[in-house]
A and B are shown apart, each in its own frame.
Chain A
Amino acid sequence: GAVVSQHPSWVICKSGTSVKIECRSLDFQATTMFWYRQFPKQSLMLMATSNEGSKATYEQGVEKDKFLINHASLTLSTLTVTSAHPEDSSFYICSAQVGETQYFGPGTRLLVL
């Protein structure tokens, strides 16, 4: 149980385009999901907390207009990187909360050329 999927697993895009990443809880409902960013050989950095039916809460320094988060249902949250630039290239990981525990997706590798 508590399986979280992400799609796509990797994506390459041109600078200036937008990329949407989906995070799904497959066998449970999650009112709260989280989006993290991980740079090579570093820990996870929380970007935002996504709450079903309401606006996401962004961490300090994360541009909400650049990283659009939508949590339209109890099993799906999406992260859209708008007007992506090479510095947005990273590993993006989502998680879904069950009680006190977060269950993580497999991550999405984004490369912006």
Chain B
Amino acid sequence: AQSVTQLDSHVSVSEGTPVLLRCNYSSSYSPSLFWYVQHPNKGLQLLLKYTSAATLVKGINGFEAEFKKSETSFHLTKPSAHMSDAAEYFCGGGSQGNLIFGKGTKLSVKP
């Protein structure tokens, strides 16, 4: 069975400080892994994806994620948070287009 777990329901950081949003996956095979961002009352925007190429994936808006098979993790990071980063973030994993999402992490950015 496949599952995606986001370890934190809410993360709060100060503007200019690093962001870490954690995601762990469980799969019997190497999955494709994704991070999406959702702003209030909006759809999901793809931030980045891992599809078994480079383990360090760079995405849009300065975000990146590292696939660590030994830890079954795909954590999302950003060196310096911006106020506009405040949103809900979803980690997803799957194959052949079928995605399983984590429960989401709400990121708050304090001025």
Contacts and interface: CB of A to CB of B under 8 A. Distances in A.
Nearest to B92: A102
A100 B32 contact: yes
Contacts of A100: 32, 49, 51, 94-97
A23 to B, nearest CB: 10
A88 to B, nearest CB: 18
A49 B94 CA distance: 14
Interface of A: 4, 6, 32, 34, 42-44, 46, 49, 91, 93, 95, 97, 99-107, 109
Interface residues of B, number: 22
Contacts, number: 51
Contacts of A44: 44, 90, 101
Ranked nearest first, the 5 interchain pairs of A and B with the lowest CB-CB distance are: A97-B97, A104-B44, A106-B43, A104-B43, A100-B32
Contacts of B32: 100-101
A106 B90 contact: no
14 contacts: A34-B99, A43-B102, A44-B90, A91-B41, A93-B43, A100-B94, A100-B96, A100-B97, A101-B34, A101-B97, A102-B34, A102-B97, A104-B36, A107-B43
B58 interface: no
Contacts of A42: 103-104
Contacts of B102: 43
Nearest to B102: A43
Contacts of A104: 36, 43-46
Interface in B48-76: 49, 51
Contacts of B98: 49
A22 to B, nearest CB: 14
A10 to B, nearest CB: 9
